[in-house]
Structure 1
């Protein structure tokens, strides 16, 4: 990647050891630890391990995780996961730190990663999966140009419980 993906107020960059602080912030959110591999209330060592897993996802070809940076501050994460690449599908997942929500960072990051996804060989379609109650995420996806294609009952396990998800796709 020659130039980092960017749009509006954000730049997407690769994970570094400096992102342990962001991992610690994420671990205090009641929802973020339920949807990924970061434990709730992580120790510094657990946060460091989570950052290394993000870096490893890229190195192992599982996906392309980024830190969302706005005004020089890490405000969230976004990734293009490649587990469905054989079907031509990239799956985007993102989280914004609670103190940085409702500022348009998720929308800008979605636009940036969607443009970036179009440069990844084999990605023909970009999908998002969002729980129906998550109004902020639904708004961010729609503002970024994604369209809802329907409800998938019991599609993702979140916190050990199967959850319905809305599938969104990029234009």
Structure 2
């Protein structure tokens, strides 16, 4: 049985927690990002009302059984820098997926690796999760390199896998398994 309460997770300088009203500036700051609103539910409007509606949608994900949407918080500043989720659409088959984004000014600082490590370690300890996967466009080296640093293994290329904006896009598929990949995750070098 999956937890019905949003956990708080942490690893090497980041905390994963439910979105809060104090995260509105982060959401507003990525409204004009070229990619984030295109592949997520982040609004293109940078209004406070649009950001609050986004936060409400993130809370609804747990209530509706879709999954867990976490704000990624830099513990040094106590400011949110991005989002990561555990999505459980296929949990009846033992599979879950993850996806994430980091606001541009906070990239290349180790936040993603720490957040993905925390989420992966937690998710793979859940009895219902036998496989955790993620999909990344081949051009997005920062994203797939972070996944590899967290012990995910690339399984292949899914051609024309997903509609992104007006185009069908190829995606690499990565996975992590509870016991098989645990050793690789514990060997992650510190930033």
Shorter-chain TM-score category?
Answer: over 0.9
Q: CA RMSD in A?
A: 1.5
Segments of 5+ residues of structure 1 without an aligned counterpart are none
TM-score (norm: length of structure 2): 0.84
* 1:83 corresponds to 2:93: no
| Cα drift, residue 43 of structure 1 | 2.3
Distance 2:121 2:137 in 1: 24
Match of 2:163 in 1: 157
Deviation sequence 1:86-135 (CA, Å, 0-9, x none): 12111100000110000111111110000110233411111010000001
Secondary structure of the 2:30 match is: helix
Secondary structure of the 1:91 match is: strand
Moved over 3 A (4+): none
* 1:52 corresponds to 2:56: yes
1:9 pairs, out of 13, 16, 24, with 13
Secondary structure of the 2:41 match is: coil
Please tell me whether Structure 1 or Structure 2 has the larger radius of gyration of its CA atoms: 2
Cα gap change, 1:132 to 1:45, in 2 (>3 Å): same
Please tell me whether the aligned partners of residues 94 and 130 of structure 2 are also in contact (alpha carbons under 8 angstroms). yes
Match of 1:63 in 2: 67
Report the count of equivalent residues: 171
